[in-house]
């Protein structure tokens, strides 16, 4: 799922746990993506593309068992829960952060092609409902989902505009007929990583400021 809608998920968690700082929640919903960015830059995890990139279906998250696997997410969520609950005595923060971390993988499992494994070093089958193999459906789903999060939260008009504009700005990544920056991403995995990193930062800052 794209960064804006992971950030929007943070709004639902904020609604359930209003005493937990939105910054903490926004980091938690993107924690495994931040790991993915770092591990891609380090060359530990790997992203490949088709010869021509016209939509997300031409980008392949080839190897990412440390950031995006069922086991690594469970370990990270459990670790964060233990740290906040028993280390800092912040029970609600512990639950909210664990929820945020798990929400990321659940949403990626819905949207991604089959690229999520059970655990690192385990040659298992890969999971993913494959919405990104039908990019137009994914675009509609992601946009409606982002707006749904805003609606549950009861956000401002400005927040609504941010969620809609960022989803529309991603349209070229979903609809092949719309040309966009994805054309330049073929065989440039570091550019993909950088675009994801920038989207994480910008969407988190905007959603945080206007929430
Ligand atoms: Zn992800």
pLDDT tens column, 55-90? 999 999 999 999 999 999 999 999 999 999 999 999
In terms of residue numbers, what domain contains 155? Answer: 3-210
Which pLDDT does position 124 carry in this prediction? 81
Which pLDDT does position 123 carry in this prediction? 83
Number of domains in the chain: 1
Give 29 Cα–ligand 1 centroid separation in angstroms: 9
How far, in Å, CA of 181 to CA of 138, rounded?
18
How far, in Å, CA of 117 to CA of 113, rounded?
12
Q: What is the pLDDT of residues 184-202, one digit of tens each?
A: 999 999 999 999 999 999 9
Which pLDDT does position 193 carry in this prediction? 97
Which pLDDT does position 73 carry in this prediction? 98
Give 116 Cα–ligand 1 centroid separation in angstroms: 10
Tell me how many degrees the CA angle 195-200-202 measures, rounded to the nearest 5: 90
Give 202 Cα–ligand 1 centroid separation in angstroms: 16
Give 68 Cα–ligand 1 centroid separation in angstroms: 7
Give 77 Cα–ligand 1 centroid separation in angstroms: 15
Low-confidence ranges of the chain (pLDDT < 50): none
- Cβ pair 135, 175 in contact under 8 A: yes
Give 144 Cα–ligand 1 centroid separation in angstroms: 19
- Cβ pair 179, 172 in contact under 8 A: yes
CA-based torsion, 202, 152, 2, 135: positive or negative: negative
Q: What is the pTM of this model?
A: 0.95
Give 196 Cα–ligand 1 centroid separation in angstroms: 10
Give 81 Cα–ligand 1 centroid separation in angstroms: 20
**3-class state of residue 8 by DSSP:** helix
Name residues whose C-beta falls within 8 Å of residue 60's C-beta, 6 or more positions apart in sequence: 47, 48, 49, 50, 113, 115
Which pLDDT does position 76 carry in this prediction? 98
Which pLDDT does position 65 carry in this prediction? 97
How far, in Å, CA of 151 to CA of 190, rounded?
35
What string of DSSP letters covers 92-139? HHHHHHHHHHHHHHHHHHHHS-S-BBSSTT-----B---GGGSHHHHH
Which pLDDT does position 174 carry in this prediction? 92
Give 56 Cα–ligand 1 centroid separation in angstroms: 13
CA-based torsion, 17, 7, 24, 32: positive or negative: positive
Give 32 Cα–ligand 1 centroid separation in angstroms: 6
Give 180 Cα–ligand 1 centroid separation in angstroms: 21
């Amino acid at each position: 799922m794209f960064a804006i809608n992971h950030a929007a998920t943070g709004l639902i968690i904020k609604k359930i746990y209003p005493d937990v700082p939105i910054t903490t929640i926004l980091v938690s919903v993107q924690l495994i993506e931040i790991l993915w960015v770092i591990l891609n830059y380090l060359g530990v995890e790997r992203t490949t593309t088709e010869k021509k990139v016209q939509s997300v279906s031409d980008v392949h998250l080839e190897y990412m068992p440390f950031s995006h696997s069922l086991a690594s997410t469970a370990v990270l969520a459990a670790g964060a829960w233990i740290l906040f609950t028993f280390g800092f005595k912040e029970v609600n923060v512990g639950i909210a952060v664990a929820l945020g971390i798990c929400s990321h993988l659940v949403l990626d499992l819905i949207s991604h092609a089959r690229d999520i494994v059970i655990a690192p070093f385990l040659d298992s089958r890969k999971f993913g409902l494959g919405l990104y193999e039908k990019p137009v459906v994914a675009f509609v789903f992601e946009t409606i989902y982002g707006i749904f999060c805003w609606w549950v939260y009861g956000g401002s008009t400005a927040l609504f505009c941010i969620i809609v504009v960022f989803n529309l700005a991603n349209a070229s990544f979903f609809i092949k007929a719309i040309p966009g920056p994805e054309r330049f991403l073929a065989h440039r995995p570091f550019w993909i990583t950088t675009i994801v990193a920038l989207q994480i930062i910008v969407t988190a800052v905007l959603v945080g400021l206007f929430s």
